[in-house]
């Protein structure tokens, strides 16, 4: 464990808590892409199956349960409890165009061709594009509430911090995982224009307006 | 080296 990965995990946890709290408090999921949340739940489910086969640390196990529980709780709030506030018209990204290519790529490019490894690889590829429905929705609505942009900033920062973690691990342990690194760079790059808007607008108290 | 010990990451 290193400071980059720890702060990355905390940024990830904070993002999830911001979102869950916003939906719960406002009793509304307006402006939130349920499709992205479904993809995240799929990412955690396929990545954390090793919960039953291998034990890394209490921290690792605890965080995996937290990510799984909060992602399904978020989906429950969006599609069941506050489904009347779910914005079907703007959450229209075709997620099958993200799931199927990720699965195909995971079957072609992986470290080992076994069930858990291919699913882990699938979750890595899928996570790198899982935010697209949310970013697409924000671009369609042309704006995002500031709390949603804080959520996106924290979520985008988590994988950016993981990149620093991978650099640190390569420098200190000689350890690297190209699949995780390439996907993590793609994931972070997807947030770049949002980061720019967040820094230049939201932090100045303006609303996040995306060029529609 | 490759994937195995990456699995200590979330």
Task: Quote the pLDDT of residue A94.
Answer: 98
Buried b (16+ CB within 10 A) or exposed e, A50-82: beeeeeeeeebeebbebbbebbebbeebbeeeb
Task: Quote the pLDDT of residue B5.
Answer: 55
Strand A208-209, strand A143-144: pairing? antiparallel
Mean per-residue pLDDT, A110-125: 96
| Test mutation, B3, B4, B5, B8, chain A, max A CBs within 10 A | B3
CB contact under 8 A, A162 and B9: yes
CA of B9, closest CA in chain A: separation in Å? 8
Give me the interface pTM, i.e. the ipTM: 0.86
- Note the pLDDT tens digit of each residue in A197-212: 999 988 888 888 776 5
- A38 to each of A22, A68, A69, A132, A167, how far by Cα in Å? 18, 11, 13, 12, 30
The pair phi, psi for residue A55, each rounded to 5°, is: -115, 125
- Note the pLDDT tens digit of each residue in A149-199: 999 999 999 999 999 999 999 999 999 999 999 999 999 999 999 999 999
* Token reading at A153: 């900033």
CB nearest A63 (choices: B4, B6, B10) = B10
* H or E element at residue A143: strand A143-144
- Note the pLDDT tens digit of each residue in A41-94: 999 999 999 999 999 999 999 999 999 999 999 999 999 999 999 999 999 999
């Amino acid at each position: 464990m290193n400071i980059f990965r720890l702060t990355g995990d905390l940024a990830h946890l904070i993002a999830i808590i911001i979102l869950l709290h916003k939906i719960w408090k406002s009793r509304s999921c307006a402006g939130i892409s349920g499709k992205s949340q479904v993809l995240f739940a799929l990412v955690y489910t396929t990545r954390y199956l090793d919960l039953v086969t291998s034990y890394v640390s209490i921290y690792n196990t605890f965080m995996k349960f937290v990510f799984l529980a909060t992602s399904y709780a978020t989906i429950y709030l969006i599609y069941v409890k506050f489904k009347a506030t779910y914005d079907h018209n703007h959450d229209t990204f075709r997620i099958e165009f993200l799931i199927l290519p990720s699965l195909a790529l995971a079957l072609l490019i992986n470290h080992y061709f076994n069930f858990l490894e291919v699913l882990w690889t699938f979750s890595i590829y899928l996570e790198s594009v899982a935010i697209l429905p949310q970013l697409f929705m924000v671009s369609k609505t042309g704006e995002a509430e500031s709390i949603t942009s804080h959520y996106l900033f924290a979520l985008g920062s988590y994988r950016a911090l993981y990149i620093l973690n991978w650099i640190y691990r390569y420098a200190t342990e000689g350890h690297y995982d190209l699949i995780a690194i390439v996907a993590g760079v793609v994931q972070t790059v997807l947030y770049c224009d949002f980061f720019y808007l967040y820094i230049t607008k939201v932090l100045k108290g303006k609303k996040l307006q995306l060029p529609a | 080296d490759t994937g195995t010990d990456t699995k200590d990451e979330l």
